[in-house]
Structure 1
């Protein structure tokens, strides 16, 4: 037996070396939602390392300051070109008073009389009847939507909504448009996704018992701070001017100031100041949900902002004001780029996005909003599209929009096979993402 001991020990040593060498690769193949449950030493091997805190930067464009001059108002095109996952629209700050001779133009002419008087807005209001739902891994959009639907007596689990909104469990993002589309196609309710809302609008909606979801940026609190900046959905349920705060139901952190507990069913506090900081990081996106008989009321509450052309025009003014007041915020420049995209002014959009990158965008930014891809693609800056898409997909190949624009840029450069591969990845990752299928059909047939 002694003569076999040395070869055996050498064999075990070799096996151990191979195992240690291969272990990181094996663990990296474990989906993140499972890797998070591993013991901490294994998590360090399994989870992809965070990239630099910001996306690749560019030199600040000299033309950026010219975008803030409102001397030449933008003229929206008759039908703003649609992005594959359309960027949301925006509006100017409301006063809380009814607009003079407002002429709402909803997509369908309301036939029902308003069920409540929209104005004046009381100093405090609360909606009740929501059931809080904690999200599963990376599921704040589907969970928040399911939570909101409980107000209407509709029972959808977050897995029901996720099955339609993010059929791939690794998908990191659900857009407001996708969430509104689910409501309109899967229920008898109505929903619309809009942008550049404001505090007064939220108060008007809550005071008139109109459910609303907002999309915000967050810097996770306490023990979660190491995660860094994320996008998140919140369900506002109340406000109080005397305390200068809203209360929100949070699918991740709960309804209490103590994360992950629901000791206080009133909701987590979101101060007016915090709303002003974190809501603009997503261009003040919001989703309104209502019953069909409330359509006239919602039209009155939103006023002229129901007209897309008006909203885009007002969005430009608001984005210019924001960026001029705080030129060191990349989010305000990003919002300006989003608006110029919607106006079909891709050259100006590209400048605004360049300035946002020069200031420094969070590395997760293109998980949620895709305006730089669209602007750079439209002006022929295909290398920039490829750089940002490959950066976003590195170690986290979970974004159909990034695969889509990567494929478009490669096709424009004549790399048909790479384009086809990435468009197929976009379509396979999310079969509901129709732009990828259309782009694939438009590619030249493969040789051979």
Structure 2
């Protein structure tokens, strides 16, 4: 019989030695019909299902939803390709040793998907929000999980469907080597999450026009589901540990449990209800797999599983996908650099973090904070991250480059004082003639 201690022990089992800490990246992209620029549906000719079946012929192993016909995911080694609710495709990368390997993995994945684009007549776009389409333009993917989420989102927020179907993100997964290390990294992630939002903001358009946001995607998240999103301020409380995160997760409403490939709606109950036998119409015995599944349905800006995951960044184009993990690894995998960042963030309050989380999606790098602009802090953190990467001394295969090579796109942006969103807005107002259509020529993968 599973107990609360077992659920907390799950996090302890994620502890790695300092020599075994790895890097994981997850990146999403829109897949659109090359001619109509509309999302591709699941069952149409040359649609999502046909594309996934082509991957199977290339050596990927399929996963099915509720039958042997509906492919919803693919696996090869420790890499996985999954479907987001509106047909966005996500690569969940393998845990790798260095940024050269993660960038090579990203390149190989994008090249493999692009190699199918002529046959299946699609383009790939990496942005935080698709710049022209409405929420109703996107289909729903045939996943039982999303059927439950779709219904529940209508009850708890106003923009949940927009988040599910209109957005893409890139995420970075970070290991911890002790409970204390987890606490330090978690707090730094939550202090810097808005800085990263500003640096990589890449969703300024809404249905063909400039919105009032640099990261419209972040705005959608603010209106999705308050029970499971946001800044989880208890992480900064004295005494925070694995058990306290367990307490948090126990009290968040569930989405589902799975049995024999069937998803059972559990939205009436918290995991605590389920654990303590109060889900009277559900008679299943609680499993660790139920807990693992539940943890994937919590969506704070940074979250804990058997590793830490930063979730605050818009999806970006090719040259910045590798900069996103580089920024975080340079800071979080060197204790001296972590201490330097902690010193900068010393005294930041819950109200400070909430201010940044609210204002950065609108003003981006120009957000005023403590007598500075975020661009100044971003440049400061960039320099520290770069120093951390140099200290790691991880060289490319030919021995020519260290990991700072993957910061080049980010460095150029910060030197120019702009985010991807700022660059897009400038092009929209000048060379693009107030049109978003050039995006589908200039910014596709």
Q: TM-score, normalised by structure 1?
A: 0.26
Q: Which has the higher strand share?
A: 2
The TM-score with structure 2 as length reference comes to: 0.26
Q: Which has the larger radius of gyration?
A: 1
